[in-house]
Amino acid sequence: MIWTSHHLSPPLAQKLRNDIQTLDKAYWRDRSRFNPNLGLDNTAGQYYSCGKVSCPEHLSNMISLIAPEYTGRELDDWVINWTPEGGYMPPHIDNEGYLEFTVLSLQSGSGSFIWYHNNDTSKPEHIADKAGQIIHIDDITQIHAVAPATMDRYVIIFLYR
């Protein structure tokens, strides 16, 4: 099942986005080259990640404090994804070994998360980015994608076991 909910106030999401934007480029890994999450068509897309382990401590602590909590699930890890304007993620199934994930949008109007009814890529459903909104996916086999970003797009992906 996929559902959305308001999680952070838009001003708090914007503050977090501003803090993340100040990270030196050395913190970001190009996911088309490092640990690519290949799409169904074997393409890598265009986006960058900064994981919990490599994130500066003050930012890491702040992100860990705002992680959504779910009964029966334990937060295993999180990662910040930065998709530059025009960047995207092709339709794919995650292969990271967790059971569920949540996407926290840090801005509005930057693009959309796409999921596919019954994993049929001819039936896309777009969920527009809204600052502070979470999208929760409880089926790790769900095919999903990110539409080309209309501006720099920052999201935090929380991973659960």
Query: What is the model's pLDDT at position 37?
Result: 83
98 φ, ψ (degrees, to nearest 5) = -95, 175
d(CA 62, CA 64): 6
Query: What is the model's pLDDT at position 95?
Result: 75
34 φ, ψ (degrees, to nearest 5) = -110, 120
d(CA 160, CA 126): 23
- Tokens (6 digits) for 98: 């967790």
Regarding beta strands 112-116 and 124-128, do their DSSP bridges make them parallel or antiparallel, or are they unpaired?
antiparallel
CATH code, 61:
2.60.120.620
| CB count in 10 Å sphere of residue 9 | 11
d(CA 32, CA 48): 8
Domain that includes residue 53, residue range: 2-160
Query: What is the model's pLDDT at position 36?
Result: 85
CA distances from 13 to 58, 62, 117, 154, 159 (A): 16, 12, 29, 10, 19
When divided into structural domains, the chain yields a total of: 1
pTM of the complete model: 0.96
pLDDT tens for the chain, residues 1 to 161:
999 999 999 999 999 999 999 999 999 999 999 888 899 999 999 999 999 999 999 999 999 999 999 999 999 999 999 999 999 999 999 877 899 999 999 999 999 999 999 999 999 999 999 999 999 999 999 999 999 999 999 999 999 99
Do the Cβ atoms of 13 and 80 come closer than 8 Å?
no
